[in-house]
Every structure is written in structure tokens, then in C-alpha cells.
Structure 1
Amino acid sequence: MDFTECYGDTVSGVAAAARSGCRQRLRRLIRGGHSLDCRDNRGWVALHEAAAAGRAGCVQEVLSAAGGRAGCVQEVLSAAGGGSSRGCRAQYVNSLTHEGESACYLAAQRGHLAVVRLLLKAHTDINQLTNDSSCPLYAAVEGGHKEVVELLVRKGAEVNRTHTPSCWTCLHQAVFKGHGDIVRILVNVCHLEALDDHNISPLFVAAQYGKQECLEILINAGANVNIQAADLATPLLIASQEGHQACVDLLLDHGADPNKDCSSNWPQLPIHAAAEFGHIGVLRRLIAVTDRVCDRDDNMVSPLYVAIHSHQNRCVELLLREGYSPNAQDCTRSLGLSSPLSFALCHSSTQPYSECVRLLVAAGVRLAEETWIPALATDKTDLLELILEHRLIPRPDTLTRHCSVSHHPGKTVLTLQELRELICVALNQVRFAACWLPLLLKAGLEPSLLLQPHMLEHADSDALNYFLQFVNWSTLSAPLKQILFQRKVEKTWEPFPDFDSIPHLSHICRLKLRAVLGPDRLMRTSAVQQLPVPSLLHSFLQFRDVPEASLSRPPASPL
């Protein structure tokens, strides 16, 4: 702590002369009897000032004077039974400031090589610690003073001592600062696997802060590339997390294991870190070397989860394009998440759906009940429209349980299980039928799948009228007709006038055509345009003349 700006008058004349480098004036003051021991508010004496300012000549003058004055009192010390001129001089050269800084420390900190040489010759304590456990070598390393570091190491400075509250050694600090030339010196004398209070080695520091040159020096010196910190993180994991592409490449090229578990909470790998923080280049490199077991094993976690969690859409897209399954393992036990899609939907609260949802649906993700609920249990149709954009609704009799046949590029057919869950959710969300019913019927859903008592009992009047125009209302079963009659009596349904009579022949014909072609083909292809009928009938045959229902009073969404 430097108070000289506040208390400039506390510096002695001798100290001021030593600081300024005025060797002749300094010599006159010393000969005039001025004290070398006068301290300022920081506890600095003349030797500290000269050493910190790099005034080698003044340092020589002060040291010579200290030795000479010690000689003058030699007889007194000898008579007292102890002491020597050399001992007094050593005591002076090792005098400390209030911060515990020696003259050697101050000179090394500032890179004054000549001064350090003089002080070492005067038998300064090369390993003297400051109040914060630093030392001349650590100060020189931190400042990047290569020549001073070489001198101190050659003179026997302690190289493996820890010097910070986090237990960093000189090698840790040299790597952190990126001083490659100093690292080259220290790797020959320091313990390469020295650990701080989090079990972090110098090589780990190089990977964490992207010090490629230092990392390469440590690797070539034999440092362990797979060493793990206290939390099991590896250098490859931390480099991947920070996006240091060159360090990732260097580690992988020298044997770093991309499949080493790096967390005690869940099986985290470097690929997860790259996906979470959106480092595309690193992720691409790790995809090529990471075992795909992480994408399918029940005890693992797909990197899709962390990419979705961090809204890293480019990473989600890259993982899917490189073959990672949109239907990754159920991670309810480890992360509380059943699927990537359910996780993406949970993160779409501020909009109808996120880009991650779109990517997963486009990749052919399996659609479960937890997907259909947010698509149907709302007056917003964006998610349902997205699903229908990429998925086809077939007739039930064309499917087997595990069928998934593509009818045209980029689209797949719903499986029987997906279709069953769609119908189940739809019947449980009849109050929103005015929103989802037109979309499903126009997408080719077979109306008979929804022709259930629950549908007729709870659909609002407009939705029910719209739905009945896709069926032959005159051939409904007696129980269903009874439901409609009861609702008419209770005035909860206001039917179209046509429903009291037999359907027109034209309507029966288009129902028959729909049954023959299949609702999916009729509604979503150009099959009608290829029929030998007038073009004016095309819209009628595709039910485009049926006005859509409207949800006049939207019910509160359960979501």
C-alpha cells in the first residue's frame, strides 16, 4: 500500500536521493551522518527506494555504507560477545517494509536484474516471504521478467512453494500470465503436477485460460493431460467450456480422453460443456471423437439436453445433423427431464414454441402425450401447425405400431401410438376443439376417430356444427343421435338447418370420395385436381366451403 502521495514529506533525504538515483548527493548525505534506517509511512528505508527504482549505483552506495557503519561498531559488538559487520549488513539488506517486502522482492517485482544481482551478492534472503506469502521469484514470474527468474532459479530460489491463498505455485502463475519463456525455464525445475486448493494443476490453468503455448510446453514436458480437479473436471472439459479451440485440438492430439466422466452429479463429458456454451467449432471436433453411448445409454445424458437448456440453437441443429437422436434417453432420474422435446417445450413459455422445438420436430422427434397437450390444450395453434408441417396423419388401417414411412421429403407419418395419444388428448381437450379441429381435419385426420360420445357431449355449438359436416350425420348410431337430440332440447347446441334432413347427394359423394382416396391424400395432395371433374368442384370436394368454427369465449388454458 503506497501512501507517498498523501504523506510525501515522510520520506527522508537519504531515501529521496536513493530513489532519484543521485549517487553523489546520496554519498554526501551518508558521509554527513544522515541515517540509512529512517523509515517512511510504508516502512521503506533508503535501500527499498533504490531497489524499487532500479538505481543499482545507489544500492551499491547504501550497501557499502551499511557495511562500513557495521564495521565502526565492530569492536563494541565483539566486546558484547556477538555480532559481526557481515551480520549487521545482512540484517539491513533483509529489512522489510510494513508489507513484508524486502529490497530483493521490490527489485525482482520490477525486473531490475542488476539490482537483484547486487542484493544476492550481499546475501539477501532469496526466499523471504511477504505478508501475503509472495517472494522475489513469484514477483518476477508475475511480472514476466525472464532474466530475473533465470537468475533466481540458478541461485537456488525455492520453486515449488505456494504463494497465494489458493495455493498457486510459480508455475501456476507463469502459465496464468502466459509467459511462455518463463514456463520453459520452470518446467525443468518445478513439480509439473503441483495442485492448488481445488486440485488444479498448471496444465489445467493453461487449458482454462487458453494459453496454447504454455499448454504445449507442459504437454511436451510430460504433464498429465487427463488430470482431474476436485470436482472431476478435466483440462479438456474446461477448454471445451471456455471455447479454446486450439487448446482442445492440442489436448485431443496428445491423448486427452473425451469420454472421461467429469462430474460427480451426472455423467458430464467435454461435449456437454461445448454444447452448453455454444462453441460450435469445439463441438464439431468433439462429436467426431465422443462415444455415441452418451446419446442412448440410460445412465448417460445426451448433449441435446444441455444445448436446449442453454438455448444454443446452432448446437442443437449440429447435433441433430450429425446423427444425435431427437429421442434421447429419459433423464427423469438424473435431470428430472423425460425427453429433449418436453424440455424444449418447458423453455417455450414466452412464445408458442422455441427454435429448439422446431428443430426437434423437423428431425422426426417422437410425439407423446406430453407433446400433444401443449399443442391442443390452448387457443394458440402455432405448435400444432408446426407439427402438422412436418408430420403426416394417415388412416389408422395403414399403420402398424412401429411404422414410420415417409410420404414426401422431410415428413414422416405418425405412428399408431402417436395417433392414439393425439386422439386421447384431443378428446380430453374438447373445449378447445374450435381451434384444433379445423387443422386436424384439413390435415387428413379421419373424422370417425373423434366420433365419440365425449366429443358430441362437450364440444361447443360452432365446433360441433363444423365437425358434423365431415360425417354423414344421418347414419350416426342411435346413442350418438340421442346425445345430439338431448343437447338440442337443452339448447346447448344450435344445429344447422341441414342436420334435420337427409344429407345432399353431393355431400354423400364427397364423403365417399374422401373414404376412397383417404382423408390425408384428399386434403394434403393434388389428387382432387387430377380427377375428371370440373375445377369448380375442387374446393367443395376438399371441404373448403365449410366455414371454420370460432372460439368466441376462450376457456382458461390449464397450462
Structure 2
Amino acid sequence: MDFTECYGDTVSSVAAAARSGCRKQVRRLIQRGSSVDCRDNRGWNALHEAAAAGSKGCVQEILTAACADKAGSSSRGFRAYVNSLTHEGESACYLAAKHGHLAVVRLLLKAHANINQLTNDLSCPLYAAVDGGFKELVELLVSKGAEVNRTHTASCWTCLHQAVYKGHSQIVDILVNVCNLEAVDDHKISPLFVAAQYGQQECLEILVNAGANVNIQAADLATPLLIASQEGHQACVNFLLDHGADPNMACSHDWPQLPIHAAAEFGHIGVLSRLIAVTDRVCDRGDGMVSPLYLAIHRDQDKSVEMLLREGYSPDAQDCTHILGLHSPLSFALSQTWNKPYSESVRLLVAAGARLSEEDWIYALATDKTDLLQLIFEHRWIPRPETLTNDCSVSNHHGKAILKLQELRDLLCVALHQIRFAACWLPLLLKAGLEPSLLLQSHMLEEADSEVLNYLLEFVNWSTLSLTLKHILDQRRVAKTWQPSPHFDSITSLSHICRLHVRSVLGPDLLMRTSVVQQLPVPSPLHGFLQFRNIPDTSYNHSPPSPISDGIQRYRSTHQHRHVL
């Protein structure tokens, strides 16, 4: 049924005339004996129609008739008529207030209209006037004793909540003098919180200047500063900070979430910049805390990641396994992009020197894609074995961070576990300066494809291998699982021995990754030979790899540490 339509057989002629605002017609019908009490299918009578239409004249005619019919304006019957309700619980006063009809409300109040009558949905004339932004009407209702702190709607908002939400700053200016500034709804949200959430800066300033608590917390411990930071309301954030808002107040029951986390997560760079300057850095590395880097990575907020790293936040942060189930920012960033090329966040973290764990190396090595491994070696330097120490301090070589001892150990352990993909990663590792002897392990020689094995042997003096390794090669030759290059059966050429010696003296890192070879007193055609460029790369011919996530699980269940350093 359409309750917006008044059907001809149910609406009275007086109500129809009142709706059109025709005072003369209303008076004429009343004089002819037409009733002002007849209701339509919504429960509306003539007074409701006149009040909603804002026709003061029609309201006056109807009230005069009702007064005469009910034996005087002081009678119980007359007051009952003035306060009669529609099926939705709306009084004539409410309908007039809802539409901002000031003169009609004044007239109805003189006729003893109930100023605090609630509708079925818990609204009232004052709440309706506030919602509509009718300042003069609000002033009238407040001056006549309207209840200002009553809760309305299913969320238990007060009139002040609604005024702030709608941004009616002039009405807020009126209400702060009579309302409870700290009134909260069913989620313990105050009007000031609402102002911060919806970016109502003028209302926020009025509330703060009136004495509202800037650090009030909702049921979930969120503060106005947190919600303003989450929504990116820069002006509100600045105002709150300038007036005592605490950026280091924990805003979550689960873990110590701060406003800086919200700004980082939602990529509000201006807000983030302001909060970085005032937030305690314990959130970056402190135990039991969570670096905002994790939240920025979660939402792929690359600019947030970039700003945090630039401002000195650690690319390693703290281990949040017990809080969020996350080991490190880099591991988290890699897990977000395991089935696609590495993200900008991964690039930023690697460039900033994030420590590489075993799990991180899996993402780089357990795949036929080499983009991540290439990225790592754009920013990291493989040290010579003789220079490795257990020193955990960050050192640099040619402007790039050097892999620490544990990182190199993890790299080799993962590499020897991911021999299936050696055709992809082996050329990159050797060209990046990895000492090939570190891969001359029994497991490597037993499992590597024939082509991969030949490629590795090209970087060493195959005639000087240990008896154990030679025995493995002989067994594979007999079993026909390895087809050696023809020259492996010959005496190692002097030219190859010479380039191995040059590599040993200069170090594979300098030889393979710098222009040092061009400074040697040798003919330029030899430069490529000295850098092993005459050895063609291997090719990957296996079936498509399974998802990295599956590979990580297999690695965890079958991994054995291979101590190669």
C-alpha cells in the first residue's frame, strides 16, 4: 500500500483543503459542518496536513474549530486533539518542526502541544529541527523547555550528535550551552568524536572551545584523533593535536594501535607526516608494539611505506607473529604478492636494507621468475667468504648494503633446497658475485639438471674437485643422468685457470658487478671472457611451478639446514 497517497474515500475534505493551504476553503468546510477529526490511511487528520504544509492560517482555523468542538482550549479533549499522533507517532508539532515551519510551531505550542512527544522511531520536534538545520526553530524549542539530552534513534544519538553530524555549526553553538558535551551513543561515541569522524571542523572547534574532552575514547578505545587520522581530515587532526590530543594513546583492545597506524593504513600522507613528528618511536621497534609499516603494506599504501622509511622507521620493525601473525614487513609484503610481480612496497623495503630471512629467499628462488632476485641484487652485495663475520652492523659496499652472514647462510640453504629452479637463479647468483665453491655440495651435484651442473662447473676448476664430488659425477655419468660438456674430460685450459685466478684475486663481487676488469692491462676482447660471459645461461624447462605459499609449507616440513659456511 502506498502510504504517501491519500485516497478519496478516506481523506476528509478539510484535510485536503489544509494540505493545499487554502484557509478560506478550510473555514467554509468547517462552517458547513465538515469534521476536522477524520483520519486518512496514514492516521493523518486535518491538523497534521496543515502543520506539515506550514499553513499557519489553516492551523488557526482548525484549532479554533477543535477548541469550540472540545469545549475550550483548556479541556483534555482539545489537548488530546492537538497532540494526536499519526500511525508513525508524528504529532502536528513534530511535522511542522520537521519542515521548519517556525510560525506553526509557535502556534501549536500556545495550544499546549507536547514539545517532547516522541515518534515511533524516537525522534521529537527538537531533533527534527536540528536535523533540518532550522536554527531559529531550535532556539525557540530550547527556550520553551525542550529536552536537550534525550537520546534518539536506534543508535542513541542526542540532538548535539545530530547537529554535529550534519555540520550545522550555528545550531551546535546553541546546543553546547545546554547539552551534555560528553553524552555518548551506544558505542560510547561523543559529539566531538562525530565531528572528528566526519571532518566537521567548525563544529569540532566549537566543542573543544566549550570544554569537550579531546581524548575521549569510544567502546573500542578509538579516539577522535584516531578516527580523524583514519578518515584523512587534516585540519581536524591539526586542531586536535594543537589542543591536547594524545597521539600515543592506545586505541584498540587487541594491540596498541595509534593514530599513526590509521594514517599509514589509509594513505593520508599529510596526516601521516604530522603524526610522525609527534608519535613515540617505540611503536617502530618496541616489543608488544606494531610498526605502522605493517598497516601501510596491508593496504598497499606505497607512499606511506616510502614516507615511513624516509623518516627513519626500520624496514625490519619488530616480529609481530604473536600479535598479527606477521614475521617482518618484507615477509608480509612478499606474501601479499606471491602470485604476481613484486610490489612497490617490496622494492622500497629491499632498497632500505630490510633483512632477508629464509622465507624471503623462498619467494626469490622457488620460482621460474627472476624479477625479485634481480631486485635484491640491485641493492645488496654478496660479500667474499673470507670477509664474512657475525657482526650484525649494517655495512655498505659501492653504496649498497652487504648481505650479512646469516642472510647468506639462509640464501644458500634455500638455494640447495630449490635446485629444481637452479636454471633460473644460478646464473643470477654467480653473476652477482657468489663464490661458486659454496654451491659445490653433494646435494647440488646429486640433484641438479645436467645443464645446470655443467653451468656451475664452468665457474670452477673441475679437475680439482674433491674425490667425493668426483665420485658423485662419475655415478651420474654412468647412470646417464648427467651429460658433461666435452671439454670437462680434457686438461683444464690455461686461459680458464688464469681467469679463475683473476676472479680469486679481485673477488667475484668486484669482477662480476663493477667495471674493474676494464682497468686491467689486458686486451678489451678479454673483458667478457674474464667475466665468464662466454658461458650461455641455462634454460628452465620444467612444468609450471606451484604457488609460492605451497612451496613455503613444503620447505618448512622437509627443510634440513645445510651448513655450507
Q: TM-score range by the shorter chain?
A: over 0.9
Using a 3 Å threshold, how does the CA distance of structure 1 residues 247 and 555 change in structure 2: closer, same or farther? Answer: closer
Matched residue SS, 1:106: helix
Amino acid of the structure 2 residue aligned with 1:105:
Y
Task: Say whether the 8 Å CA contact 1:261–1:268 is kept in structure 2.
Answer: yes
Rounded to whole Å, the distance in 1 between the matches of 2:252 and 2:422 is 47
Partner of 1:287: 276
Task: Say whether the 8 Å CA contact 2:423–2:539 is kept in structure 1.
Answer: yes
Partner of 2:139: 150
Amino acid of the structure 1 residue aligned with 2:131:
E
Output aligned runs, 1:130-529, within 5 Å. Answer: 130-401=119-390, 402-409=392-399, 411-529=400-518
Amino acid of the structure 2 residue aligned with 1:154:
S
Rounded to whole Å, the distance in 2 between the matches of 1:469 and 1:359 is 35
Task: Say whether the 8 Å CA contact 1:70–1:85 is kept in structure 2.
Answer: no
Partner of 1:81: none
Output aligned runs, 1:73-92, within 5 Å. Answer: 85-92=74-81
Using a 3 Å threshold, how does the CA distance of structure 1 residues 138 and 506 change in structure 2: closer, same or farther? Answer: same
Task: Say whether the 8 Å CA contact 1:10–1:40 is kept in structure 2.
Answer: yes
Rounded to whole Å, the distance in 2 between the matches of 1:182 and 1:2 is 35
Partner of 1:19: 19
Mean CA deviation greater in 320-329 or 426-435: 426-435
1:352 to partner: Cα distance: 3.1
Partner of 2:560: none
- Decide which of 83, 86, 107 is 1:118's aligned counterpart: 107
1:243 to partner: Cα distance: 1.3
Matched residue SS, 2:247: coil
Identity across aligned pairs (percent)? 77
Matched residue SS, 1:117: helix
1:519 to partner: Cα distance: 0.6
Amino acid of the structure 2 residue aligned with 1:406:
N
Rounded to whole Å, the distance in 2 between the matches of 1:499 and 1:400 is 35
1:395 to partner: Cα distance: 0.3
1:553 to partner: Cα distance: 2.8
Rounded to whole Å, the distance in 2 between the matches of 1:6 and 1:88 is 26
1:405 to partner: Cα distance: 2.2
Partner of 1:59: 59
Instruction: Encode CA deviations 1:190-211: one digit per residue, 9 max, x unaligned.
Output: 0111111111111111111111
Alignment pair present for 1:548 and 2:563:
no
Task: Say whether the 8 Å CA contact 2:176–2:210 is kept in structure 1.
Answer: yes
Instruction: Encode CA deviations 1:55-103: one digit per residue, 9 max, x unaligned.
Output: 11121122222222333xx7xxxxxxxxx85333222211211211111
Rounded to whole Å, the distance in 2 between the matches of 1:14 and 1:427 is 93
1:6 to partner: Cα distance: 5.5
Matched residue SS, 1:412: strand
Mean CA deviation greater in 321-330 or 14-23: 14-23
Mean CA deviation greater in 17-26 or 334-343: 17-26
1:9 to partner: Cα distance: 4.5
Gaps of 5+ in 2: 552-565
Rounded to whole Å, the distance in 2 between the matches of 1:404 and 1:59 is 84
Task: Say whether the 8 Å CA contact 1:432–1:555 is kept in structure 2.
Answer: no
1:444 to partner: Cα distance: 0.7
The CA RMSD measured in Å over matched residues stands at: 1.6
1:8 to partner: Cα distance: 4.2
Mean CA deviation greater in 536-545 or 488-497: 488-497
Partner of 1:77: none
Matched residue SS, 1:334: coil
1:425 to partner: Cα distance: 1.4
Matched residue SS, 1:294: helix
1:399 to partner: Cα distance: 2.7
Instruction: Encode CA deviations 1:405-459: one digit per residue, 9 max, x unaligned.
Output: 22223x2111111111111211222222221111111111111111221121211
Alignment pair present for 1:42 and 2:63:
no
1:555 to partner: Cα distance: 7.3
Rounded to whole Å, the distance in 2 between the matches of 1:122 and 1:413 is 87
Amino acid of the structure 2 residue aligned with 1:60:
Q
Amino acid of the structure 1 residue aligned with 2:270:
G
Rounded to whole Å, the distance in 2 between the matches of 1:473 and 1:349 is 37
Rounded to whole Å, the distance in 2 between the matches of 1:185 and 1:38 is 39
Using a 3 Å threshold, how does the CA distance of structure 1 residues 13 and 492 change in structure 2: closer, same or farther? Answer: same
Matched residue SS, 1:335: coil
Task: Say whether the 8 Å CA contact 2:342–2:372 is kept in structure 1.
Answer: yes
Instruction: Encode CA deviations 1:474-505: one digit per residue, 9 max, x unaligned.
Output: 11122221111121111111111211121111
Task: Say whether the 8 Å CA contact 2:338–2:363 is kept in structure 1.
Answer: no
Rounded to whole Å, the distance in 1 between the matches of 2:54 and 2:536 is 92
Task: Say whether the 8 Å CA contact 1:396–1:416 is kept in structure 2.
Answer: no
Matched residue SS, 1:356: helix
Amino acid of the structure 2 residue aligned with 1:30:
I
Rounded to whole Å, the distance in 2 between the matches of 1:494 and 1:413 is 37
Matched residue SS, 1:10: coil
**TM-score under structure 1 length normalisation:** 0.95
**TM-score under structure 2 length normalisation:** 0.94
Rounded to whole Å, the distance in 2 between the matches of 1:535 and 1:30 is 114
Matched residue SS, 1:400: coil
Rounded to whole Å, the distance in 2 between the matches of 1:496 and 1:294 is 57
Using a 3 Å threshold, how does the CA distance of structure 1 residues 429 and 23 change in structure 2: closer, same or farther? Answer: closer
Q: How many residues align?
A: 547
